[in-house]
Amino acid sequence: MWDDRATRRFFANKGASVGLVLVALLLLFAILGPLLSGHHPDHSDFEQGRDALGQLAGSSARHWLGVDHLMRDLLSRLAHGARVSLLVAFVATTISIGMGAIVGLIAGYAEGTRARSLDNALMRLVDVGLSFPYLLLVMAIGAAVGETTILTILLVLGLTSWFGTARVIRSKTIQVRSLDFIAASRALGQSTPLIILRHILPNVAGPLIVIASASVAQMIIAESVLSYLQVGLPPPTATWGRMLQEGQRMYTATPRLVVAPGVLIFLSVLGFNLVGEGLRDALDPHED
C-alpha cells in the first residue's frame, strides 16, 4: 500500500510529475479562467464585427482567443468547459468506483461459499452490463428526454461504467481472501462486513486507486463524446465536446473553434493518464 517509498517513487517518475502539473494547470484554469476573461460565457457580443472575409473575429484585446459562432468569448467558454469536465469526471468516477468496489467485494467474498449464488447473480448482471451497447442507449435516451442535467450525466456515466471494475475487484478479493490472516480473523468470529472493510478493502485499494485515476481520464472523454453527439448538457452551457461539435461546421474557415477544445480535452486526458501511470508504478513497482 501507500507509504513513503511509494511517494518517492511517484515523484521520481518524470511522467507522473508532468501529469500532476497538467492536472494542476487544468484545475487552475477551471477556477480562475472565467474571472480572467471577464466575459459571461453565455452572452453574445453582437457588437463584435467580422473580418474582411466575413469570418468571425480572431484574437483581440477584448476577446483574447476570439469569439465562437454565436459571438461569445471563447476563452471564457473554454474555462467553463473545464469546470464541467472536471466536475463530471470526478463525481462520475466516484460513483463508478464505489459501485464496482461494492459489487466486486461482495461477489468475491461470496464466491465459493454457501452464498455463491449471490456471486453468480452479480456476475450475470455484470455480463449483461458488459454486453450492452451503452452509447446507443444513451444517445437514444438523451435524444428523447432532452432535459439532460448534470445529475443525469453523472448517473449515466457512473452507473454504466462499473462492470469492469467489479470484475477486477472480485478476482483480487478472491486472491486476498485466501490469505492466512483472513482465515484467522474468520476463525476468531469477526463478522463478514467487518472482515471485508477492515482486511479486504485495504488490500484491494491499490488497484482501486489506479483504476480511479484512469477512470477520470475516461470520464473526461465520455462526457465530451456525449456532448459531441449532442446528448450531453443542453445549450447554452459550455462543454468542450459541444464546442468541438459546434465548431466543426466552421472548421475550414475558423479552425481554432475545433483546435482549442480539442487540445484541452487531449491535455487533460493525458494529464490524468500520466498520474494514473505514476500511481500504478509507485504502488506496484517493477523492481529493477
- Hey, which residues between 52 and 81 contact other proteins (CB under 8 A)? 52-60, 66, 69-71
Q: Which stretch binds other proteins (CB under 8 A): 24-32, 90-98, 202-210, 245-253?
A: 245-253
Q: Look at the alpha carbons of 161, 150, 207, 266 in this order and tell me if their dihedral is positive or negative.
A: positive
**Euclidean distance between CA atoms 88 and 239, whole angstroms:** 11
What are phi and psi for residue 204, nearest 5 degrees?
A: -105, 5
Stretch 184-203 residues interacting with other proteins (CB under 8 A): none
Q: Which listed residue (46, 114, 117, 188) binds other proteins by CB under 8 A?
A: 46
Instruction: Give the number of residues in contact with other proteins, rule: CB under 8 A.
Output: 75
CA distance 15 to 274: 6
Query: Does residue 175 touch other proteins according to CB under 8 A?
Result: no
Question: Min. distance of Cβ 23 from other proteins in angstroms?
Answer: 13
Query: CA 69, 241, 246: angle at the middle one, nearest 5?
Result: 25
Counting contacts by CB under 8 A, is residue 21 touching other proteins? Answer: no
Q: Given candidates 140, 179, 183, 194, which one binds other proteins under the rule CB under 8 A?
A: 140
Candidates 139, 155, 159, 205: give the one binding other proteins (CB under 8 A): 139
Residue 282, burial from CB neighbour count under 10 angstroms (0-12, 13-18, 19+): buried
Pick from 1, 61, 117, 133: which binds other proteins (CB under 8 A)?
133
Task: Give the whole-angstrom CA distance, residue 160 versus residue 127.
Answer: 12
Amino acid in position 12: A
User: Does 252 help bind other proteins (rule: CB under 8 A)?
Assistant: yes
Q: How far is the CB of 188 from other proteins (least distance, A)?
A: 27
C-alpha distances (whole Å) from 252 to each of 67, 155, 256, 267 are: 16, 36, 10, 23
Site membership for other proteins, residue 118 (CB under 8 A): no
The rounded distance, in Å, linking the Cα atoms of 251 and 262 is 12
Residue window 253-282: x/- pattern of binding to other proteins, with contact defined by CB under 8 A: xxxx-xxx-xx-xx--xx--xx--x-----
Shortest gap between Cβ of 233 and other proteins (angstroms)?
Answer: 10
Shortest Å distance, C-beta 168 to other proteins: 13
48 phi/psi in degrees, rounded to 5: -60, 120
